[in-house]
Amino acid sequence: MSNTIDHLLDEDRRFPPSADFAANANGTAELYERAKADREGFWADQARELLHWHTPFTQVLDWSNPPFAKWFDDGELSVAYNCLDRHVEAGNGDRVAILFEGEPGDERRITYAELTTEVKKAANALQSLGIGHGDRVAIYLPMIPEAAIAMLACARIGAIHSVVFGGFSADSLRSRVDDAAARLVVTADGGYRKGKVSPLKPAVDQALADRGTGAQETVEHVLVVRRGGNDIEWTEGRDLWWHEALDAASDEHEATPFPAENPLYILYTSGTTGKPKGVVHSSGGYLTQAAFTNKYSLDIHPESDVFWCTADIGWVTGHTYVVYGPLALGATQVMYEGTPETPHPGRWWEIIQKYGVTILYTAPTAIRSFMKQGRQIPQQFDLSSLRLLGSVGEPINPEAWIWYRDVIGSGRTPIVDTWWQTETGATMVAPMPGVTDAKPGSAQVPLPGILVDVVDEQGATVDNGNGGLLVVTAPWPSMLRGVWGDPERFKETYWAKFAAQGYYFAGDGARKDEDGEIWLLGRVDDVMNVSGHRLSTTEIESALVAHESVAEAAVVGATDETTGKAVVAFVIVKESYLAAHSPEGLAGDLRGWVSGQIGPIARPRDIYIVSELPKTRSGKIMRRLLRDVADGHEVGDTTTLADTAVMSVISAQVK
């Protein structure tokens, strides 16, 4: 039995960029050549071209103590100065940085000059609370401009932020505050979600109330942004209003440069087991790749584009493609507080129409949920301003890709499918819009200056046409610098599997097509062995989504006496189909369809038509829980689900 992953699905549609798009795109084929000729020199050029250095660096990469990399180590810069002051100094202070749309419909247009002033005041306020270089600050906020302001204020004074997603519980917040020994928490009374105020401050109170935890001992102050207008409990001496602290602060603040390797932030990511890992990112290399990918892969032209990355600030996508990347370029972007369906299912499209959004960057899970509702909703809005679409977070099934391009992109916009991780800090594998002929469902090629490969269990390159494990074979500027407080875990988790080769193993399966281009196949933990064939969930899910009735699908391997594992599919059917078809008829059709599309080996043993799939708060499907249902086991730990009730609904539907 081979240890590569079998390949089932062929997709041969190709979409070259239009001549017009190619002529105006930032990215050119020449970038790949420059990077190939001298990789480190290429990154040094990017760091110099894209950023301002208070002290220029002379060293590029120091890899003398792997896996602990140093980039631009003897250089000094201020991340905040790069994202703010320099744009004002260059005469762009009146350019809008953030077009904020609150869920209730309130608006704020914040220019670079205003944002710079707010960050200066916030930096002074933090310093007056005794926060300084190296201190950890937990940020637990809704999607409001203060989230970006708080992050940049930390960067400005060399404090390390740890943003905790506002949808996480008091327990999750406490464990993160504990692990980082944070001294300050920045929160809000609440934020708007689904038409209601969802309170935040009570969770902070609860997290800090438990005696004997680190959180209770290390946190000295809680800064509270007023957003939801709730009555909240107040701990005198500890709690302070954000607006009062900023009003009292001076709006003069000199940006201090810090060494390139100064840690910028910690972001916790949950592993499959054990406590969340605090992924640590540093300053110079991170900001270089953040700015580089925003400029070339997302093709941002700061003078003319209106960019919208829909990710929450609590995820890495919100760090790199809401805060650091777009602001480093001096771009204008939309920030939206609420949910896509509030107060009506066309809210996102209304926002695109209202602000003239030109580049939309979102996740496949969102695209598939719009597919489920039907194209008539986006078609009520004018989306003609869009010129580029991006996808991130999961493999995008070819049919979802086509729907995205046809319905949202009017059949003409390029799509960039960007593969990366919290750990990689910024995009690693993605087509270059304007250069690459796009293949629906494939992330295609490593960015210039990035080296990846697909290998077997022994670390040997697989041939084109085969699947295996995706690895990064050389250090990159925005790579994680470690796991907070746990260097052993850093080595063990990411570098031990291919220690002999010195490869970073990402945990994902991938396939190289006949052109050597990369197709992500999902997490290797989800690969299933059916009659001796290693099948990826992604390809079977893509075949299901290619059926006209299916909006979303999740496939798992259930224990089977004959085949080892059997393919079991959970599908969400489009609303327009549900009324007209019986579940039994549809399930039979879909089994035949998968068999016809990719072969009898992948034919699902069972198909369950369900109304929801279990997802994490960042939208990833938790197949492990579906495996439990398929095997008839008790459903495992559901605490990281966005909606914990969903598993009982699914279990009932399956019965």
Interface with ligand PRX (CB under 6 A): 269, 316-317, 392-395, 417-422, 443, 506-508, 520, 523, 618
Q: How far is the CB of 521 from ligand PRX (least distance, A)?
A: 8
Q: Which residue's CB is nearer to ligand PRX, number 218 or number 442?
A: 442
* Token pair in block for residue 88: 């004002």
Nearest to 399 by CA among 369, 430, 363, 371: 371
Closer of 246 and 311 to ligand PRX (Cβ): 311
For ligand PRX, the closer of residues 330 and 431 by Cβ is 431
Write down the least CB distance from residue 104 to ligand PRX, Å: 28
Cα dist. 490→274, 276, 380 in Å?
14, 12, 49
For residue 380, the minimal CB distance to ligand PRX (Å) is 29
Rg over alpha carbons for the chain, rounded to the nearest Å, is: 24
The residue among 32 and 321 lying less far from ligand PRX, judged by its C-beta, is: 321
**Of residues 116 and 537, the one with the C-beta less far from ligand PRX:** 537
Least distance from ligand PRX to the Cβ atom of residue 642, Å? 14
Query: Which structure tokens are listed for 484?
Result: 């907070």
Residue 549 exposure: Cα atoms within 13 Å on the Cβ side: 21
CB-CB contact of 495 with 506 (8 Å): no
In the bound complex, what is the minimum distance in angstroms from residue 548's beta carbon to ligand PRX? 24
CB of 352 to ligand PRX, least distance (A): 22
Structural element, H or E, at residue 22? helix 19-24
Q: How far apart are CA 199 and CA 232, in angstroms?
A: 9
- In the complex with ligand PRX, the residue whose CB is nearer, 44 or 432, is 432
Which positions ≥6 away from 117 have C-beta within 8 Å? 251
Tell the smallest beta-carbon distance from residue 420 to ligand PRX (Å): 4
State the DSSP code for 17: P
Which string of DSSP letters, residue by residue, matches 125-177?
HHHHTT--TT-EEEEE--SSHHHHHHHHHHHHHT-EEEE--TTS-HHHHHHHH
d(Cα 26, Cα 46) in Å, to the nearest integer?
Answer: 13
Say if CB 528 and CB 534 are below 8 A apart.
Answer: yes
Residue closer to ligand PRX by CB (options 72, 420) is: 420
Rounded to the nearest 10°, the torsion over CA 142, 148, 151, 156 is -160
CB-CB contact of 529 with 557 (8 Å): yes
Smaller CB separation from ligand PRX, 175 or 320: 320
Nearer to ligand PRX, 283 or 391 (CB): 391
Angle, helices 646-654/623-630, rounded to nearest 10 degrees: 30
Q: Give the DSSP per-residue string, 44-79.
A: HHHHHHHS--SB--S--EEEEETTEEEESTT-EE-H
Residue 432 CA to residue 221 CA, distance in Å, equals 45
CB of 554 to ligand PRX, least distance (A): 14
Which one, 224 or 367, has the nearer CB to ligand PRX?
Answer: 367
Question: Who contacts 86 (Cβ-Cβ below 8 Å, separation ≥6)?
Answer: 52
Cα separation, 93 vs 87, in Å, equals 6
Can you tell me which residue has the tokens 């302070």?
Answer: 240
- Angstrom distance (rounded) from CA 57 to CA 77: 10
Bridge-based pairing of strands 136-140 and 160-163 is parallel
Nearer CB in complex with ligand PRX: 443/535: 443
**Closest CB to ligand PRX among 117 and 444?**
444
The least CB distance from residue 393 to ligand PRX, in Å, is 5
Q: How far is the CB of 523 from ligand PRX (least distance, A)?
A: 5
Least separation in angstroms between residue 426's CB and ligand PRX is 9
Q: Which two tokens stand for residue 194?
A: 């689904």
Q: Name the minimum Å distance from CB 445 to ligand PRX.
A: 13
